[in-house]
Amino acid sequence: MKINKIFTCALLSLLTLSYASNVHANNIAVSNISLVGQNTTAGVNNAANYSMVKFNVSWDNSWRINTGATNWDAAWVFVKFRVGGSNPTFTAVSSSGTTVTVSSTANLRVGMPVRVTSGTGAFAANTVISSITNATQFVVSAAPTTVLSGANIECIRIWEHARLNNPGHTAPSGSTIDAGLLTPGSAFNATTNPALGVFIYRDAAGAGTNTFNNTQLRWNYGANGINDNTVISIQVFATEMVHVPGGVDFNVGGGGGTSAFTSTTINTATATTVPSGTGSMGGQAGGYPTGQTAPANATWPNGYNAFYCMKYEISQGQYRDFLNTLTRTQQANRVTMNGTVGGYAGGYTWNGSAWSGGEINNLSSPANRIGLRLVADPGGISPSTYACDLNPSATLPTGVNQSDDGEWIAMSQLNWMDGCAYMDWAGLRPMTELEYEKACRGNQAAVSGEYAWGNATTTSANNITNGGQAGEVTNTANANSVSANQTNVPGPLRVGVFAGAATTRAQAGATYYGIMEMSGNLWERAVTIGNTEGRAYTGTHGDGSLSANGHANSTSWPGLVSTEVTVATGSGFRGGAWYVAISFMRLSDRNSATGPYTNRYSAYGFRGIRVSP
């Protein structure tokens, strides 16, 4: 995923400043961001007004195949914005109950944290703006603990998700753009069902580097409640995805292993169809595995329909970028640190023979190859700054995010709630365990004992060269597992690390469709069909926004308590990790498929998916 230098402009003046600073996540890059083509023909400050977000996007090792395993890779691209050039401040502020009166609410946004800087009055901890009533009044999430009277206050700017149009984007030559609606299959609505991002991919068969310059996405800024002359900052994010075709039968469970599904052919998208008869890919045929309880709803994502899957696990650079768009309260719930500058992301760590005794906060140095570090803290209610610093810098916040600081390494220490929050923020969703098997096996016959790359043979990594760099490599291997020398590989490897010199799927450790590290490296978190909570999932997508506490709040997601995902019930694990026995890496193995664990371990990662438009 890519985060750029922040592009700031006033919409009305149509500035076209651009930046060439590139920070890559496995070689996907976004550059030269600008706003062009502002359209205000609907009227001054009308909700229908829009502007085009213009940028370049490129990535290596792209493909489109129109025969055989017909599929392609793509970039999922979305936009975040922030209103104003500085935090709004006010003097002579008063309050009555939860209503606060200021001189103007012009640059205020729902979700902004607020604080009293001087004068009479005090807000409760973690208070945010919950609604904006009129030109001079807003409502806060909790009544001030001391009534405001002549107070001076500050409101902290926040990053928000841009609502994009459905048509109207400009695809560069050689590319196609498909918009991803909040609710795919329903009618587009700029406010209630906007496009949360787009898929950009090559429009013809081929392979190699994609360079799509002058891409333009139509941002309906009026639907985001932005006036025509508002000063804003924008960021464009991109992550590599792989298209998994729909409408073809596939097998689940046929590879065997602990608690594996009874071999079944999934031949319908109706997840409640009872298995029966003889399936074309083995076992009975139906909408869920033989011997399992049927999902609670026919739309439970059983993998039959087409979807996009993240090509790689979330990287440390991606998670850093995510954290740096959150409020201070949201950050605190998304990473195990105690707020001390210089501390590294904590959790349970592995010493070569056992896990540490508890979730350790504020590690003083990287553990198990996790270089995510808190590098600056302004204090108060302002958000902290996180960076990748696997090769520790002695002077912070400088010397971080360097070429050997590990931003391309898969991000571990993620619990279920962390992963769901990231998916909600990015407009994606968690995968199910049937989607996991489909993404690995494709429409091929099951092989006994197979791994994600289609056979029962594995070669484990046992050394690292160019550690922490974009070019990190290991010995000729296709997996990161416990059979490797733990002294040399004491944690996750760079995403896509085995693909470099590989000439076959098995050598690259790739799934049938070209998705990487689905066996080994880090555990894949998936929605289980094995319990009631998992079977209630409906596959809704994230809307780009989190709760004030930094939790995912998408309906039907496992772990949802009231309105926030705060537990892991209904989730589980597939695919194994760097520290576990290789048997857990087998494609059909379900040893931990229903494990609702909420802790952060250095073997827990995450990746998400999205329904194909």
Residue 445 DSSP code: P
Q: Are residues 13 and 143 in the same domain?
A: no
Residue-level pLDDT at 488: 61
Q: Are residues 95 and 151 in the same domain?
A: yes
Neighbouring C-alpha atoms within 13 Å toward the C-beta of 104: 4
Does any domain span residue 278?
Answer: no
Q: Are residues 177 and 61 in the same domain?
A: yes
Does any domain span residue 137?
Answer: yes
322: part of which helix (H) or strand (E)? helix 316-323
Of 457, 450, 366, 449, the closest CA to residue 411 belongs to: 366
Collapsing DSSP to helix, strand or coil, 356 comes out as: coil
Q: Which residue shows structure tokens 């991109």? A: 238
What is the domain count for the chain? 2
Q: Which tokens hold the place of 93? A: 């502020």
Domain-ending residue, one of 110, 136, 156? 156
Does any domain span residue 44?
Answer: yes
Rounded Cα distance between 283 and 269, Å, is 17
Does any domain span residue 43?
Answer: yes
Q: Are 246 and 185 in contact (CB under 8 A)?
A: no
Q: What are phi and psi of 585, to 5 degrees?
A: -80, -10
Residue-level length of the chain: 613
Residue-level pLDDT at 503: 82
Domain-ending residue, one of 124, 140, 156? 156
Q: Is the bond leading into 430 cis (omega within 30 degrees of zero)?
A: no
Q: Are residues 121 and 180 in the same domain?
A: no
Rounded Cα distance between 239 and 221, Å, is 23
Does any domain span residue 136?
Answer: yes
Does any domain span residue 219?
Answer: yes
Collapsing DSSP to helix, strand or coil, 239 comes out as: strand
Q: Are residues 72 and 121 in the same domain?
A: no
Q: Is the dihedral of CA 304, 75, 411, 563 positive or negative?
A: negative
Does any domain span residue 420?
Answer: no
Of 136, 148, 157, the closest CA to residue 93 belongs to: 148
Rounded Cα distance between 5 and 3, Å, is 7
Domain-ending residue, one of 195, 220, 240? 240
Q: Are residues 179 and 72 in the same domain?
A: yes
Does any domain span residue 577?
Answer: no
Q: Which tokens hold the place of 189? A: 């609505």
Q: Are residues 168 and 77 in the same domain?
A: yes
Q: Are residues 169 and 227 in the same domain?
A: yes
Which residues in the chain come in under a pLDDT of 50?
A: 1-5, 11-25, 484-485
Q: Are residues 202 and 151 in the same domain?
A: no
Of 551, 318, 330, 297, the closest CA to residue 421 belongs to: 551
Q: 173: domain range? A: 7-82+161-240
Q: Are residues 186 and 140 in the same domain?
A: no
Q: Are residues 98 and 225 in the same domain?
A: no
Q: Are residues 34 and 140 in the same domain?
A: no
**First-residue to last-residue Cα distance in the chain:** 21
